[in-house]
A and B are shown apart, each in its own frame.
Chain A
């Protein structure tokens, strides 16, 4: 039998485009970072300060405080949180083989939220020595513990004999989210007025109150988790074919899933702890990148980190300037920007979300 003759040239390579995007997005991130240092509630601008420095003048006390104690830690926190949310979104979507998965749905977000609400409403009941020990870090610390605990619980529920069932984990995550939501509701019911205001503000998500202390508290865990997630590219690509086939093409599926789960829990827990619930970054960023340069996780994860960080600090700039000198919670900005974009993508490219 004669074989069908084929002489088609290889097609344009999306992987090359995705690699080029690393550089482009790094540039975008640098620009967003400069913008974030330039504008804020005060008239202090980066350009004016640079002009002074070049002219040999010293910065005023106020300029130094604004730059080094307010805007820089806020920028650092924005970069960390944005990258953490976007990378854990991409990793979770790869793990669940579902482009609509988000750390929110496996209960990490809900668990962290419950921890934070517990701290805000019942924190005063804790023994004095604990309050003295953690000080104003109580809420973020409790949020992190809640996220971590719920991940461990979920993992226990869905892992039998060293095998994690993604379906069980998804269902358990929904149940856990509902439970955490109900408990949070009860707590909100018994909260007083001041606590309610704190809760609302935390729940909307914000980078307000960023400090070097918070950056150093959450930073190491986020950096470690993102670093671990970045090596998952090959494994998540294989997993797109299903667990059995991923194993057949040489991937240690169980180990890969362990790393993915732990890094998602670490990054999301730490990010939620310092910034509250900032939605949409974890879903929109990986999705936009898949449309731009394909779903290959070897490039998607790093690109998500870069774009997520850029997007969050840009949203933070907007949150700071639209109603200056007051501030919008950043979660409102990401939702207002993210939700319509997301709906528009779904309408335009319905086929690509099809599973």
Chain B
């Protein structure tokens, strides 16, 4: 269980989060959606204790604040919205960085398995900086997976905290990454993912939190939360759920690929 209570974050005079509650259960994929600047990354930053904040965050029943970095790293891995890498590391070496903490540290085969999981095993010997944007993002996901390779450790669930994991991926790899997240959750781990793609959210999330201007607008199962009113209010444009487009305009939904 991951519980965030009354999270408030200020950047100088600007209040980015004004008292947000979030509960994510192990075994589920919890999505955080909302417009640009609504505070999604900030909320993830507070949950991962990388931003100063008010309010409490409990991970598996223990308060996050005050825990040692290596103790937290053994329980959860974090995929940032964007990552830059200093120095010419190769792909496999980047994934190995994820091992430096987690309990997979003594299992040298994990990084190759993690790379294979994101479909990039044949890229292991390439330089990370030569990868395309989407490939780099998947390598970072492999690094995160390697850190918490077993979804359950010592009877405790482990967590994947992902900031826009599918942002620069093509539709097939979006599905692949979301399947990885779902599989991790079904195996007993917990997943919290910031999402912009509402269709993928509807398909893969068990629970959705809608943020707007630093507040929690709605929280619940996709079918409850993803209504015309809530989404239109959150995003500030007239959205219609499950409304087919006008005749003759093609539309491509990921749902079809899963049927």
What's the nearest-Cβ distance from chain B to residue A183, in Å? 33
Q: Is the CB of B68 within 8 A of A244?
A: no
Q: Which residues of B contact A71 (CB under 8 A)?
A: none
Please tell me which one of the listed residues A6, A242, A252 contacts residue B116 in the complex, with CB atoms under 8 A apart: A6
Give Cα A251–Cα B100 distance, bound, in whole angstroms.
9
Inter-chain contact total with CB atoms closer than 8 Å: 114
Q: Which residues of B contact A245 (CB under 8 A)?
A: 78, 80, 83
| Top 8 A-B pairs, shortest CB-CB distance | A250-B101, A250-B73, A11-B125, A97-B86, A6-B121, A295-B87, A250-B70, A4-B119
Q: Is the CB of B121 within 8 A of A251?
A: no
| Chain B 121-135 near chain A by CB (<8 Å), digits 1 or 0 | 110110101100000
Q: Does B37 contact A (CB under 8 A)?
A: no
A-B contacts, 21 listed (Cβ < 8 Å): A1-B175, A1-B257, A3-B117, A3-B176, A6-B116, A6-B122, A8-B121, A14-B90, A98-B86, A240-B89, A244-B45, A248-B78, A249-B77, A249-B98, A249-B100, A249-B101, A250-B72, A250-B73, A295-B89, A351-B130, A352-B127
Given contact pairs A12-B125, A294-B90, enumerate 11 new A-B contacts (beta carbons under 8 Å): A4-B119, A6-B121, A15-B93, A99-B87, A240-B85, A241-B85, A244-B50, A244-B80, A247-B69, A290-B88, A354-B129
Give Cα A159–Cα B45 distance, bound, in whole angstroms.
21
Asked, given contacts A242-B80, A247-B50, A249-B101, whether A8 binds B89 with beta carbons under 8 Å apart, the answer is: no
Q: Does A45 contact B (CB under 8 A)?
A: no
In the complex, the chain A residue whose C-beta lies closest to that of B92 is A11
Give Cα A283–Cα B202 distance, bound, in whole angstroms.
52
Q: Is the CB of A248 within 8 A of B122?
A: no
Give Cα A7–Cα B69 distance, bound, in whole angstroms.
34
Q: Does A137 contact B (CB under 8 A)?
A: no
In the complex, the chain A residue whose C-beta lies closest to that of B257 is A1
Q: Does A260 contact B (CB under 8 A)?
A: no
Q: Does B107 contact A (CB under 8 A)?
A: no
Q: Which residues of B contact A237 (CB under 8 A)?
A: 97, 100
Q: Does A210 contact B (CB under 8 A)?
A: no
In the complex, the chain B residue whose C-beta lies closest to that of A237 is B97
What's the nearest-Cβ distance from chain B to residue A246, in Å? 9
What's the nearest-Cβ distance from chain A to residue B108, in Å? 9
Q: Does B74 contact A (CB under 8 A)?
A: yes
Q: Is the CB of B86 within 8 A of A355?
A: yes
Q: Does A234 contact B (CB under 8 A)?
A: yes
Give the interface of B toward A (CB within 8 A).
45, 48, 50, 68-70, 72-74, 77-78, 80, 83-90, 92-93, 97-98, 100-102, 112, 115-117, 119-122, 124-125, 127, 129-130, 147, 172, 175-176, 179, 257-258
Q: Does A140 contact B (CB under 8 A)?
A: no
What's the nearest-Cβ distance from chain A to residue B154, in Å? 17
Q: Which residues of A contact B87 (CB under 8 A)?
A: 97, 99, 240, 290, 295
Q: Which residues of B contact A10 (CB under 8 A)?
A: 92, 112, 124
Asked, given contacts A1-B176, A247-B69, whether A352 binds B100 with beta carbons under 8 Å apart, the answer is: no
Q: Is the CB of A242 within 8 A of B83?
A: yes
Give Cα A240–Cα B98 distance, bound, in whole angstroms.
12
Asked, given contacts A14-B93, A253-B69, whether A248 binds B100 with beta carbons under 8 Å apart, the answer is: no
Please tell me which one of the listed residues B78, B89, B97 contacts residue A294 in the complex, with CB atoms under 8 A apart: B89
Q: Is the CB of B100 within 8 A of A3?
A: no
Q: Which residues of A contact B117 (CB under 8 A)?
A: 3
What's the nearest-Cβ distance from chain B to residue A300, in Å? 9
In the complex, the chain A residue whose C-beta lies closest to that of B126 is A11
Interface size on A, residues (CB 8 A): 38
In the complex, the chain A residue whose C-beta lies closest to that of B45 is A244
Central interface residue in B100, B112, B124, by most chain A CB within 10 Å: B100
What's the nearest-Cβ distance from chain A to residue B139, in Å? 11
Q: Which residues of B contact A354 (CB under 8 A)?
A: 129
Q: Which residues of B contact A248 (CB under 8 A)?
A: 48, 50, 69, 72-73, 77-78
What's the nearest-Cβ distance from chain A to residue B84, in Å? 7
Give Cα A31–Cα B62 distance, bound, in whole angstroms.
57
Q: Does A238 contact B (CB under 8 A)?
A: yes
Instruction: State which residues 64-101 of A face B: CB under 8 Å.
Output: 97-99
Q: Is the CB of A234 within 8 A of B100?
A: yes
Give Cα A247–Cα B112 distance, bound, in whole angstroms.
23
| Chain A 214-238 near chain B by CB (<8 Å), digits 1 or 0 | 0000000000000000000010011
Asked, given contacts A3-B176, A14-B93, A294-B89, whether A250 binds B100 with beta carbons under 8 Å apart, the answer is: yes
Q: Is the CB of B93 within 8 A of A251?
A: no
Give Cα A290–Cα B93 distance, bound, in whole angstroms.
13
Central interface residue in A4, A244, A250, A352, by most chain B CB within 10 Å: A250
Give Cα A296–Cα B86 distance, bound, in whole angstroms.
11
Central interface residue in A6, A248, A354, by most chain B CB within 10 Å: A248
What's the nearest-Cβ distance from chain B to residue A116, in Å? 33
Give Cα A120–Cα B45 distance, bound, in whole angstroms.
52
Give Cα A12–Cα B93 distance, bound, in whole angstroms.
11
Q: Is the CB of A252 within 8 A of B92?
A: no
Asked, given contacts A1-B179, A247-B50, A354-B129, whether A238 binds B97 with beta carbons under 8 Å apart, the answer is: yes
Give Cα A12–Cα B92 distance, bound, in whole angstroms.
10
Please tell me which one of the listed residues A3, A14, A249 contacts residue B97 in the complex, with CB atoms under 8 A apart: A249
Central interface residue in B86, B98, B115, B127, by most chain A CB within 10 Å: B86
Give Cα A60–Cα B119 distance, bound, in whole angstroms.
72
Q: Which residues of A contact B120 (CB under 8 A)?
A: 6
Q: Which residues of A contact B100 (CB under 8 A)?
A: 234, 237-238, 249-251
Central interface residue in A7, A237, A242, A245, by most chain B CB within 10 Å: A245
